[in-house]
Structure 1
Amino acid sequence: MGGLNCGVTLALLGVLLRGAALLPRRAEAAEIALPPGSDITISIKPGTSTLARPCYILTSKTPTIMLSIKSGEKKTFSFMCQNPENYFVIEIHKNIDCMSGRCPFGEVQLQPPTSALPTLNRTFIWDVQAHKSIGLELQFSMPRLRQIGPGESCPDGVTHSISGRIDAAMVKIGTFCSNGTVSRIKMQERVKMALHLPWFHNRNVSGFSIANRSSIKRLCIIESVFEGEGSATLMSANYPDGFPEDELMTWQFVIPPHLRASVSFLHFNVSNCEKKEERVEYYIPGSTTNPEVFKLADKQPGNMAGNFNLSLQGCDQDAQNPGILRLKFQVLVQHPQNESYITYTVDLSNERATTLTIEPRPVKLSRKFVPGCFVCLESRACSTNLTLTPGSKHKISFLCDDLTRLWMNAKQTISCMDHRSCHRKSYFLQVPRDILQLPVQLHDFSWKLLVPKDKLSLALVPAEKLQQDTRERICNTSFSYLMASSSSSPGQDLYFGYFCSGGSIEQIRVKQNMSVTLRTFAPSFQQEVSKQGLTVSFIPHFKEEGVFTVTPDTKSKVYLRTPNWERGLPSLNSVSWNISVPNDQVACLTFVKEQTGLVCQTGRAFMIIQDQRTQAEEVFILEEKLPKPTFHHHNFWVNVSNCSPVNGKQLNLLFQVSLTPRTIDLPVLLTAVVGGGAFLLFALGLIIFFVKKNRKKKKNKGLAVGIYNGNVNTQLPMQPKKLQKVRKDSESHVYADIDDTIVYGHLLLDSNGSFVQPEVDTYRPFQGPREDCPPSPPPTCSRARTAKLTTEEPPPGSSAESESEPYTFSHPNQGNESNRDTDIPLLDAHEPAESVE
């Protein structure tokens, strides 16, 4: 029983000890005594705690949440929680009156020292008041200060907040951290300095001193000292709020003589001025125009050697709508580079529509100090971005440790609004030499080509034949051309793709406005400058969206694809390829895939393959299978016309053209030669026979007369007005002998009885392919299926006779005879001869 009671007692004791540990424990007691006349007031007040459990200050056995200790008072207190730093902050406020007595200039002490204060977040505030004619200077020993913007914090938690005063209004000069360049701040009349120390920081010095200076006649002066390369970001007073009206603020920069400084404005706003003008002024050593005045929107000076000053001047603002004047800028100090002493001249006086921009490449951000890259105009106005306007000469230099961090982009516009003045006019698209001589890589040079709508089109001829960039054959050159045509209808722009030299495309014709962008990919572009160049001509308007002239290489395949690759050819657009085939070669046309996957919502999508010599066409519906490989012995067209596809369906075609030498069988060739010779001998003997026979007839007979008999019926029975044989099947047009006079009787007499001179038409053979006229596609709205025509089957209505034989036909000059088929003999016996009269 005794052992049981002992166990219960131990269990109860454990519960009581655990409950005592959970009760709030009182922190150790603290005592603060302020000597009389110290002008110090200490306040302990709640911070920004979000804890639900409250904490109190216990003084004289009375709990409270605020405690104030004035000069000459002594108080003892304790906190009713274990971690008071989570609940309370302490402020030590010291007034320094320089108006009624002597100012205690010199180093400022922390009073009372941090060791005599409780471990709370501490803020020391010094409020110095002086006459308006007195300038007060805060001097900061090492480490110097670095200004931060709203929302930023200091790594060690130690911050300096400095304010001034204009009449009754307080003006915030800025918030600063340690490890910067700011060494002194001068103000007029009043200074309020606040030093914030976190509870865990054991700092025992203020880090600054106060000195008396003469009147500075402005809001403040901030001095920034650079020991070596580095940068400083500074802001106007009250930033991001508005700078005080009609005030002046100055920054003084101390720069080692072997370094160069450049100023760039990161962000600024201007107010609405009634009087004066907002501006910035520079005092630069060696300048003959001090002060140099700039607007806030101007390019700011750079590449400056030695110390310089920068001042911000406000204006009298509009009372109804004052606006906001604010400025955030950066000063970058670095070693000068060799390029800093070289001046380049860029002459754009003759380039009326050309602009050049030099700007930084996109790079990954780094926390380490990175020297800046500046472009300086006239060696002083420097900035990270510089745009050179057309119509004048520009002198530029560079302040940059690595010029590969910059690149150039240029634009030029060539337009023709009057088609009568620029028809057949040509321009050469080439990068100007003044741009190529700059030590910065050219990224893009874009030409915008404008033509009057439905009046003119464009033709591009490269200095070297082009290759289209595809996955099967990628461009490996140092530059390429990006070509696109622009349409007035949204969604109808055509991106033809990337093209580089070393291919088979000789010409590209575009229906409307287009842009050509030369893009470089490697520094070796400088060695391949001679390969770049395009000639653009204004040509008569045509309806095709684009026409490519292609001469394949016998050594490699040519890959071609439709525009807007991977986005699909726009609806109802048509593109053609004019492909040349050498006489001793055969071209093989092959499509990379078997089907397009296209589904048309309205209309039909067609592809036409046309032989340019025989005009034979093959028409394919692109919703079905693509054609199998075809062989072509002559130049041919490939025309693609799109329908209005269903959403999500796109027309993308990729095909290749390869050349192989023609092969001829030797036995066949020998047989043809022997057979041809025998036929020639037979024909020659036949001609001699008929000539001799004709001479004998002439000796024995008079003149031969052919008399037309109009009553002979040449029609077959039961088939009126229809000939069963065509000219090649009958011999009605073959005459063995025709004398000088052939009498047709009344057919050659007019109404007056006089002879009518017959009209003579001469048929001439086809002289070659019509390269400028691609095949016309069938109507895109047609739903009817289209028959396929091959080269083995001649088109309906075409003559089977040889194109190389000239014929002369004679017929009366009557309108109803003009459209008669020339394959039918001239002597038509469909009606009796009396009807002609």
Structure 2
Amino acid sequence: MSWLVFGLLLVLTAGVSEANAVTVTTGPYTKVTISRPTEGPDCFVCVGEGSAQTCKLRADINQLQTLHVSFNCSRPQDIFTIEINRDFDCSMSCNYGPIQADWSFFQDFKRVFTWDLRFKSSTRSFQLEFPGPGMRQIQSSEQCPDNHTYSILMYLRAGPMNLGKFCQNGTITRIQILWKWRLTLEVPKETTLSQFSFKYSEVVGSVFAVDAVLPRGISNTDFFSASGFPFAYTVMWNFVVPPRHNFTVDFVKYNKPECQGKPVKVIYQQANMAPVEKTPTDEQPANYNRNFSLSLTNCDGKTAGGSSDSGLLLNFRVSVFRGGIPDLCAVDLQNDKGLSLQIEKKNQAELCEIGMDKVVKEKIVVPAGSKVSLSFLDCLKDDLILTATKTIECQNLASCPSVAGTLLTIPLVDSCLPPSLSQVTWVLNVPERGSVELSAPQGSLYQSVPGDQVCDQLLSAQVSAANNFSIGDFCSASKGIIQRIQISSSITVTTSADGNKDLRQVMAPLLNASFNSEIDETLIYTVYPRISTSALIMTPNWPGEMKPDSTLSYIVNVPEDYSAQLLFSNVTFPECLKNHAEVHIQELGSDLEVGFREDEKLVLEHNILKSFYLNMSNCEPEKGIFAILSKISLQKKPGKLLSIILGVVGALLALLIIILVVVCVAVRKKKRQINRSSIYIPKGNVSLPGDVLFPKTRADNDSHVYTSIDDTMVYGHLLQQDLSGPGHFNGHQVDGYKAFSGPVDKTIKDTLYDPTVERGPDKDTYHPFLAPSETFIPSRPRTPLGRLDSMDYEDRRMVDNTLYTFKTPGEPNQMNRSAADPVFCQSLMIILGQSLSWLIQNMRPHMRRICRIYLMVEKMNPVTQRWNVLI
């Protein structure tokens, strides 16, 4: 038999599992007890190590002690309970710190925390404060939702009084307890401890009181009197009633004690009002307002104390509801298909109370196609938020024409609803093998870019795809460039009011939506850039990432006479785990395209001659995001402008050449026809050569035509001004005309200058080919003449001529320059060359720029090459 006992002890000792051994250290005022019921499986708690180890059904660890604790069974948490007790004697002093359950050992065990607090004086009490939302009193058979159950036991001279069981999240905010009490918290096994804590402090007095703050709206809260209520003892409940609320008190359950003296009484007290005394069987206050207190006093019993069976027990209920008359509003959504409304309070602490069909709610949702009655009590316009949601859908494309081209307008909402309509959401459900298209009712769509371009319209629409993935913010504006947006999935379109504006006042449609057949891309933009300004386009969800494995396409329409400049101003490529992130540019009608991947260098600037596609596709990123911001601007094609300029310059050159050729030919022709004779009559009576030998009149003969004229002297002033320099005419006069100094016969003089002599018309007078203003040659100034009646008069037009013909004083010489020397043609060519050089020199910068653009656009057209060589 002794061997059997020894073997049993050896088995028990060997069965101790070192794997669950714990070294437990206790702090000040703390005692730990590990215990189990007497009946149950064989499992012991072992304290100590080696030969000093003892295994029992119960182990105690005192304060400031360290022990090695283990169990000799696999699941001791199913059997043992850990009790952690903290004892505070506040007779001398207390730290009055927060009370909180904290124990790092044996987390999987059932734990019971107890706090014992006491005073030695009966005139001093403790005040226990619970943080919001407070504690809730429950019946003894109930369990708390979080499995954290509190109980309070108060020690009186008549014996212990159980104040009841409590859970978190209730109306009780404070309890005043007499000089000695115990607070207990029970936590079942495998439950994580709550961080709930409460404070305790010292107060003067010996009154047992419970403070409760009743919630807003409609509520029913139960309260229970203590078990073991002493005879002739009083407990008080103080209630805080919300403003504009009424209360009603009902006694749900009343257990009358055995009384021999004064009966049980209930007293109601309100500020500035006389107390009202009632018995538990009387009708209690109903539909009262303002804060109140309820005092319950036990009767005089036969014995010194009561029991749970024969003692006083009271369960009463305090109901709270709103006072006043609510505003009613009947909402009928039966005639507006797919429309639903949502109403909620901005601040739940507001006095506003809302309800639907006589049921108070924190948030009201009026379903689509329903008819309800809403109530608003003490609600201001700014206390509520009203939003609307409209669902537009069709089952298949065959039924979609009924909703094709639907204008997204603000729905009509009943005016009896007090809040402003702050937000409207349209839900567009795409049918199978379909897509949705958005366009502007007027003008084009303008997309907002954070920090760059913002919609300045009254309303803007936030477009989102499935899973609330943002596509962008758009508005309808005259400066927009997006003609339409095609999306392959269902979308939501949301517009919100700025500030306190009411969307019910907006009558204009926001967007035009329609359903079409499916598209190959995830998203397609049709863009018409504006000529006057550049525009920004971006990937969806900018500046965030584009959706993985999605595609985007821009169809950019460029006017015929313009080219497009595409600039990638902000580019972010990811590191791809699967597939590639790509960008492609392709002109419409062309098989050639320019493509880039995330592992290649992207050319940021592109010049495109006509309409083109801009396609982007994202990969499955491993790191980084795919996001691109681009700028599109239009430029006038330089081809036609260059042709016009070249044509004008060529015409001018041709005109100059024609002038030169015609003048030279005319000069040479006249020169061949001129009679190269000259007559000099030194003195005496003279007569004109035609008087005897020539039967013709002066107008019909060539007697007044000079044989030759020195062109250098005729155009010398031009050469002196424009052609000065080495090798050019230096301005010296050669063979200048001198007045005749010999005797002159009066008859000859009178005949020569007789004004009465009849002269024929100046048919042979020289006229230039074009007026000076019509040519590039500067107009020749008038020859400065001296006094015409003086013999000292020198006519430079007669220099170097063989024939010197006199005319009447005071009358300019009439000369025919058709017999000019070839030097005239040379001078004219020099002047034309200088004018052409000046023209080319001034047009060189402009022509160089035009030709550069032209070479780029026209791909080195031969005409342009020749012009570039000329420049």
TM normalised by structure 1 equals 0.43
Rg: which structure is higher? Answer: 2
TM normalised by structure 2 equals 0.42
Structure in which a larger fraction of residues adopt helix: 2
